[in-house]
């Protein structure tokens, strides 16, 4: 079918919709039948259960759950068809194979759909041919099909906005995903959750989504460049491409906190995929350390620094935040392999295992094994290869004594004493401090786990085949080293060095190159979230010459001086009251500290039921007005943002927090302060 104009496209849309409705009706019938068969089977069990033996009962239960599974799948299909009836496709690309006279026409949508004759009426956005839509303008093009590369020419591209089954607009497009459509999408008010971007994925984003070769893909992208969106679309793409071997349960998302996890939770279901299990570094660390240790969380560390930038705390954090630190740990552990095992003769009554046999056995055991496993192997080796004075094999009590003796020959019994020894050896005991109640500082949690892995081995998560790590700038090299051992699978790691909430503990690109020498590193420099004016304002706080703002204009951010705190809180109330009538969905009031957020919240809570305080105990990202901290707001976005107490941002750490706060705004930004504003708002590059 070859449509030349809007009328023809409308006719084509009517045809596709009729096919979709027919498919929906068929599927609806199947849902009804599936429901009926489950009910009949259940009724049969209820009525006949007294007559059934155990086997028969179990067989019937199995049949019921099988019928339910089947029914659920048909319901999913019906829901998908309903979505397609509302918006079946968003793009069209006409591609003429090299040597062919006529072009094939492909319509691209969220899901694929075949007509009754097996014709592909809509292609899934992840299909090979759909790549043409994102990657090429009119002219020569190539796409990778399962049978190999297909060369040819894109002869036409169109973009559509179809809403509730009606075509809102159609754009004849020569340029890959025209700015016009993108602008329309970006100027839409946010809702409370992140949404999919399938219809306007940009070429450089598509390359990341479809990258299948990178064992580790590192995405360094400026604020609002779509890193999180792209990474989630990449997951959906991989699930599509490797269907049958890769399922959502094989993927893990490492989220910085629960609110963020909730914020992104809708994207994959919207793309037709199941929810992906999420976890966090703290959750993984707690599972590894069990109840032996308490530890400070990342947000507690940042809160501690935000309250007072203790130079000795900063020194401790900084020291443990480089790739060199991991290398030093490695060489300490390697050195220990030679120096911490003290062989001696094992005496068992009149019998003995000579020191030389113990030393020889230790040399034979592989150094690649964790220490505890090595000692077990050594003990087994000695038990099998040595004899008592009569030449007899060791009995079980002697064997147990050999095991205990071998264990006692190793200098360190636990990871903590080994870790402390690391600092002693360097003469830098000041770099390790336990908090009250034997609580570890956050910067010690992962070095300690790294050493524990050397001592006890790694609990590898073999079932996980791909890990997605967001906000990479907040992880240190030793965290990545630990993460790679837990998850020795492919990884997508994304973040922005400019948005670190703890500049003393983050990873540089150079660190990444050292930790993941085979990683592909890609950069996203176009920023989509904020208006040109907001981005320009944020650039005075943390200048980044690589940011390319989009030409989407809005109000200039306002910086409002207030007489005192009372005046400032009143000012915020006025802005919020005005916002309540604006039709915007989300407003973020992003403060430097939790205490400031609490004060603002108390002053607003009577204003509307839609005001809520977001803290590290919060589980969900709400629509309405969220009062929170910059640390927690990381990764989120709001139609409008108010940044109160802008006088409080003074240090280097504060500069990054202020930048994060301001770059959360899509359309509007208001900054308030009392006294003198932060030096960073004046474009000063130096903290005072
Ligand atoms: N190709 C695109 N089409 C439409 N919207 C896009 C596109 N790329 C990004 N966006 C939008 O830009 C905003 C920012 O995206 P996202 O949160 O994924 O960026 P990010 O780089 O992770 O941001 P940050 O690091 O600042 O938290 C979102 O509203 C997203 O929908």
Range 532-539 contact pairs with CB under 8 angstroms and sequence separation of 24 or more:
533/557, 534/662, 534/663, 534/665, 534/666, 534/667, 534/668, 534/669, 535/223, 535/224, 535/663, 537/662, 537/669, 538/223, 538/659, 538/662, 538/663
Q: Which atom of ligand 1 is nearest to the CA of 201?
A: 1
Instruction: Kindly give the pairing relationship between strand 148-163 and strand 166-172.
Output: antiparallel
pLDDT at position 550 is 87
Please say whether the beta carbons of 672 and 646 come within 8 A. yes
Q: Which atom of ligand 1 is nearest to the CA of 231?
A: 18
- Residue 2 scores a pLDDT above 70: no
Query: Per-residue confidence at 97, pLDDT binned at 50, 70, 90?
Result: very high
* Mean pLDDT, the chain, integer: 90
What confidence tens digit (pLDDT) does each residue in 167-224 have? 998 888 765 555 777 877 787 766 668 888 999 999 999 999 999 999 999 999 999 9
Q: Which atom of ligand 1 is nearest to the CA of 496?
A: 25
Residue nearest ligand 1's atom 16 by CA: 226
Ligand 1 center to residue 595 CA distance, Å?
Answer: 29
Ligand 1 center to residue 266 CA distance, Å?
Answer: 15
Ligand 1 center to residue 226 CA distance, Å?
Answer: 3
Please say whether the beta carbons of 224 and 528 come within 8 A. yes
- Residue 602 scores a pLDDT above 90: yes
| Residue 403 known to bind ligand | no
Query: Can you tell me the distance from the alpha carbon of 79 to that of 335, in angstroms, rounded to the nearest whole number?
Result: 61
Query: Can you tell me the distance from the alpha carbon of 89 to that of 112, in angstroms, rounded to the nearest whole number?
Result: 9
High-pLDDT (> 70) share of the chain, %: 97
Q: What is the pTM of this model?
A: 0.90
List the single range of 203-217, 226-240, 502-516 with lowest mean pLDDT: 502-516
Query: Per-residue confidence at 510, pLDDT binned at 50, 70, 90?
Result: confident
pLDDT at position 541 is 94
| Residue 27 known to bind ligand | no
Ligand 1 center to residue 227 CA distance, Å?
Answer: 6
pLDDT at position 190 is 66
Residue nearest ligand 1's atom 9 by CA: 226
Ligand 1 center to residue 470 CA distance, Å?
Answer: 13
Residue 68 has which token pair?
Answer: 């339910």
The residue-averaged pLDDT of 383-403 equals: 92
The torsion angles phi and psi of 11, rounded to 5 degrees, stand at -65, -40
Q: Which CATH number fits domain 211-321+425-524: 2.60.40.4070, 3.40.50.300, 2.40.50.100, 3.30.830.10?
A: 3.40.50.300
Query: Per-residue confidence at 367, pLDDT binned at 50, 70, 90?
Result: confident
| Residue 221 known to bind ligand | yes
Q: Any idea how long the chain is?
A: 688
DSSP letter for 583, please: -
Parse the chain into domains and list their residue ranges: 4-187, 211-321+425-524, 342-409, 552-674
Q: Which residues lie closer than 8 Å to 383 by C-beta, 6 or more apart? A: 394, 399, 402, 403
Query: Can you tell me the distance from the alpha carbon of 202 to that of 183, in angstroms, rounded to the nearest whole number?
Result: 13
- Residue 685 scores a pLDDT above 50: no
ipTM: 0.99
Ligand 1 center to residue 222 CA distance, Å?
Answer: 10
Q: Which atom of ligand 1 is nearest to the CA of 195?
A: 31
The residue-averaged pLDDT of 309-332 equals: 93
List the single range of 116-125, 300-309, 593-602, 660-669 with lowest mean pLDDT: 300-309
Residue 387 has which token pair?
Answer: 């004899």
What confidence tens digit (pLDDT) does each residue in 511-542 have? 888 889 999 999 999 999 999 999 999 999 99
| Residue 321 known to bind ligand | no
pLDDT: is 376 or 498 the higher one?
376
DSSP letter for 275, please: P
Identify the residues whose C-beta falls under 6 Å from ligand 1: 182, 185-186, 197, 200-202, 205, 221, 223-229, 496, 499, 528-529, 635, 637, 663
Range 561-565 contact pairs with CB under 8 angstroms and sequence separation of 24 or more:
561/672, 561/673, 561/674, 561/677, 562/672, 562/673, 562/674, 563/674, 564/674, 565/599, 565/674
Same CATH topology for 211-321+425-524 and 552-674: the answer is yes
Ligand 1 center to residue 530 CA distance, Å?
Answer: 9
| Residue 226 known to bind ligand | yes
- Helices and strands, number each (H, E), in the chain: 24, 26
Residue nearest ligand 1's atom 27 by CA: 635
- Residue 684 scores a pLDDT above 70: no
Task: Identify which of 197, 253, 633 to mutate to test ligand 1's pocket (most ligand atoms within 8 A of the CB).
Answer: 197
- Residue 67 scores a pLDDT above 60: yes
Task: Identify which of 91, 529, 665 to mutate to test ligand 1's pocket (most ligand atoms within 8 A of the CB).
Answer: 529
pLDDT at position 409 is 96
Q: Which residues lie closer than 8 Å to 549 by C-beta, 6 or more apart? A: 527, 530, 532, 535, 536
| Dihedral angle of Cα 97, 103, 107, 108, to the nearest 10 degrees | 30
Residue 460 has which token pair?
Answer: 């590898």
What confidence tens digit (pLDDT) does each residue in 551-573 have? 899 999 999 999 999 999 999 99
pLDDT at position 175 is 55
CATH topology of domain 552-674: Rossmann fold (3.40.50)
Ligand 1 center to residue 276 CA distance, Å?
Answer: 20
Task: Identify which of 182, 226, 632 to mutate to test ligand 1's pocket (most ligand atoms within 8 A of the CB).
Answer: 226
- Residue 405 scores a pLDDT above 80: yes
The residue-averaged pLDDT of 665-679 equals: 93
- Residue 308 scores a pLDDT above 90: no
What confidence tens digit (pLDDT) does each residue in 158-178 have? 999 999 999 998 888 765 555
- Exposed / middle / buried, residue 590 (Cβ in 10 Å: 0-12, 13-18, 19+): buried
The residue-averaged pLDDT of 410-432 equals: 94
């Amino acid at each position: 079918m070859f449509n030349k104009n809007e009328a023809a496209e409308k006719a084509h849309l009517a045809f596709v919709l009729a096919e979709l409705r027919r498919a929906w009706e068929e599927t609806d019938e199947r849902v009804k039948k599936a429901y009926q068969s489950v009910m009949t089977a259940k009724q049969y069990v209820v009525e006949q259960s007294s007559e059934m033996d155990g086997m028969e009962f179990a067989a019937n239960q199995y049949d019921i759950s099988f019928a339910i599974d089947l029914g659920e799948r048909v319901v999913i299909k019906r829901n998908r068809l309903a979505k397609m009836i509302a918006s079946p496709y968003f793009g069209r690309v006409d591609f003429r194979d090299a040597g062919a006279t006529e072009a094939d026409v492909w319509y691209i949508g969220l899901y694929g759909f075949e007509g009754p004759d097996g014709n592909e009426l809509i292609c899934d956005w992840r299909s090979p041919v759909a790549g043409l839509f994102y990657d090429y303008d009119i002219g020569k093009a190539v796409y990778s099909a399962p049978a190999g590369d297909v060369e040819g020419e894109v002869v036409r591209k169109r973009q559509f906005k179809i809403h509730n089954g009606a075509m809102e607009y159609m754009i004849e497009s020569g340029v890959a995903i025209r700015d016009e459509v993108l602008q329309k999408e970006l100027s839409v008010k946010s809702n409370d959750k992140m949404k999919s971007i399938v219809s306007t994925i940009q070429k450089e984003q598509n390359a990341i989504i479809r990258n299948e070769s990178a064992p580790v893909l590192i995405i360094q992208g400026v604020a609002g460049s779509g890193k999180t969106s792209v990474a989630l679309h990449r997951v959906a793409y991989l699930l599509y491409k490797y269907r049958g071997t890769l399922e959502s349960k094989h993927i893990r998302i490492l989220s910085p906190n629960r609110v963020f996890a909730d914020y992104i939770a809708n994207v994959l279901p919207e793309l037709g995929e199941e929810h992906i299990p999420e976890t966090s570094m703290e959750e993984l660390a707690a599972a590894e350390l069990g109840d032996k240790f308490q530890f400070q969380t990342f947000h507690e560390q940042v809160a501690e620094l935000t309250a007072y930038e203790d130079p000795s705390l900063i020194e401790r954090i900084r020291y443990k935040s480089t790739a060199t630190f991991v290398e030093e740990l490695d060489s300490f552990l390697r050195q220990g392999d030679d120096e911490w095992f003290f062989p001696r003769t094992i005496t068992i009554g009149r019998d003995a295992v000579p020191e030389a046999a113990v030393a020889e056995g230790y040399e034979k055991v592989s150094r690649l094994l964790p220490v505890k496993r090595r000692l077990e192997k050594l003990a087994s080796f000695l038990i099998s290869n040595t004899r008592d004075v009569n030449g007899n094999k060791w009995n079980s009590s002697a064997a147990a004594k050999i095991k205990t003796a071998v264990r006692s020959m190793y200098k360190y019994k636990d990871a903590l004493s080994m870790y402390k020894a690391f600092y002693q050896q360097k003469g830098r005991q000041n770099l390790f401090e336990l908090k009250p109640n034997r609580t570890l500082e956050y910067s010690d949690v992962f070095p300690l786990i790294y050493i524990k892995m050397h001592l006890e081995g790694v609990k590898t998560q073999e079932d996980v085949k791909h890990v997605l790590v967001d906000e990479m700038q907040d992880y240190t090299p030793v965290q990545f080293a630990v993460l790679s051992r837990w998850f020795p699978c492919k990884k997508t790691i994304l973040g922005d060095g400019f948005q670190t909430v703890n500049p003393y503990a983050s990873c540089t690109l150079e660190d990444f190159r050292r930790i993941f020498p085979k990683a592909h590193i890609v950069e996203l420099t176009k920023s989509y979230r904020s208006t040109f004016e907001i981005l320009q304002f944020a650039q005075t706080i943390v200048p980044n010459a690589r940011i390319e703002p989009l030409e989407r204009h809005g109000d200039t951010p306002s910086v409002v001086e207030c007489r005192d705190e009372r005046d400032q809180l009143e000012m915020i109330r006025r802005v919020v009251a005005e916002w309540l009538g604006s039709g915007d969905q989300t407003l973020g009031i992003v403060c430097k500290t939790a205490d400031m957020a609490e004060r603002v919240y108390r002053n607003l809570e009577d204003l509307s039921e839609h005001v809520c305080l977001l803290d590290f105990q919060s589980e969900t990202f709400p629509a309405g007005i969220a009062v929170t901290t910059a640390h927690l707001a990381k990764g989120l976005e709001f139609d409008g943002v108010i940044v109160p107490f802008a006088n409080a941002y003074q240090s280097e750490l504060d500069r990054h927090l202020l930048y994060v706060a301001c770059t959360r705004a899509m359309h509007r930004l208001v900054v308030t302060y009392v006294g003198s504003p932060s030096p960073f708002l004046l474009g000063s590059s130096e903290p005072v």
